[in-house]
Amino acid sequence: MATGQLREVVFVDGVRTPFGKAGPAGLYYETRADDLVVKCIRELLRRNPSLAPERIDDVAVAATTQIGDQGLTIGRTAALLAGLPQSVPGFAIDRMCAGALTAVTTTATGIAFGAYDVVIAGGVEHMGHHPMGEGVDPNPRILAEQLVDPSALVMGKTAENLHDRFPHLSKERADAFAAASQAKLAKAYADGKIQPDLVPVATRSSEHGWGLATADEPPRPGTTVGDLATLKTPFRPHGRVTAGNAAGLNDGATACILASAEAARDLGLPARMRLVSYAFAGVEPEYMGVGPVPATDKALARVGLTIDDIGLIEINEAFAVQVLVFLDHYGMADDDPRINPFGGAIGLGHPLAASGVRLITQLARAFENRPDVRYGITTLCVGIGMGATVVWENPAHADAGQVAA
């Protein structure tokens, strides 16, 4: 590679565990978080036999709560547990909900720079073992000096704040979006669009014995707007955010292979997407749900694209209202077919740091169905007031690889 010349980065493959519900009754309550990551790494190697394990240059694994079975530099320990050679390094990363997405962009930058040829990036969150905020000790200055509103530290309250700021984004609209998301997910399962990216996980229960997780636990197919209208609003009396129009508390892991385009060709690996651009943005922490808007604006502007150039959008459904803010900003209808065609986190769940690679893998699957779509994005809102967006190109498109006009 010539000095100063950046290399193309491609997405090769991605997998995830089925997502479980957090808590004693959930699929993975007696399963370790690091073992979930190990399953994903091993599955990636099984599915891509032309990739020799020693060719992996680094393993980046994100976790929001980096203690217990999610601690001890989990990228390195998971790599060792998965049987990768001791010569393969690894590290841990944290950007809350955008953890896995940041693992991707961080290692992708290394590929573009020439420091890596092939990497594994992913994330894990076992919210049953480690509830969000476990062990944290916020500096008292944050509240004492009014650096942020106290609601900024409770994600559900930030979603209620969005309803306050944008009152036309009503609970009724949020519930309608949530019901539609459940319906899209049910259809995607029926059409076999979700299952190819899942790695089965052996589960253990002291009460029920051994089992095998082969499908996501959180979905509620058949959910109606009427069902959602009756749910409690835990973050505020007579509020608008409910368990039905938000993602739940979940356990799960994700992982993917990224490579330089040249290394992918040399190793016989598929190039299922090309990374085009990415951006992170900061916003008011108490309105963190708006984060995908400035992040998307930045990521698109850097490569001369607009939202009209984007044919598929995988946006994390942390809360329905947060997606509605994004749609409203760009003048898109609540049922715009570009948005989460296979459903989203309201049905699948949102194991915090793991979700970014779930979005990426799902976009790659959607690209396969739509060779007419050239560009797509993966985007999330992030706690403490941030947004993250990655722009991808579909290699099946007729104009793929050409410089955008």
Selected catalytic residue, list 97, 126, 130, 256: 97
Measured CA to CA, the distance from residue 285 to residue 69 in angstroms comes to 28
Q: Which residues pair with 242 in a beta bridge?
A: none
From residue 243, alpha-carbon distances to 25, 29, 33, 320, 370 in Å are 17, 20, 24, 11, 32
Measured CA to CA, the distance from residue 220 to residue 248 in angstroms comes to 12
Selected catalytic residue, list 40, 129, 163, 381: 381
Measured CA to CA, the distance from residue 211 to residue 201 in angstroms comes to 8
DSSP 372-396: T--EEEEEEEETTTEEEEEEEE-TT
Q: From the centroid of its chain, how far is CA 323? A: 14
340: closest CA among 355, 319, 359?
Answer: 359
- Residue 40 designated active-site: no
**60 φ/ψ angles, rounded to the nearest 5 degrees:** -110, 120
Q: Are 244 and 224 in contact (CB under 8 A)?
A: no
From residue 97, alpha-carbon distances to 27, 167, 379, 383 in Å are 21, 25, 10, 7
Question: Which three-class secondary structure state does DSSP give residue 91?
Answer: strand
- Residue 381 designated active-site: yes
Per DSSP (E only), the strands in 181-272 are 201-205, 209-213, 250-260
From residue 356, alpha-carbon distances to 65, 97, 202, 359 in Å are 16, 7, 24, 5
Measured CA to CA, the distance from residue 330 to residue 347 in angstroms comes to 24
Active-site residues: which are they? Answer: 97, 350, 381
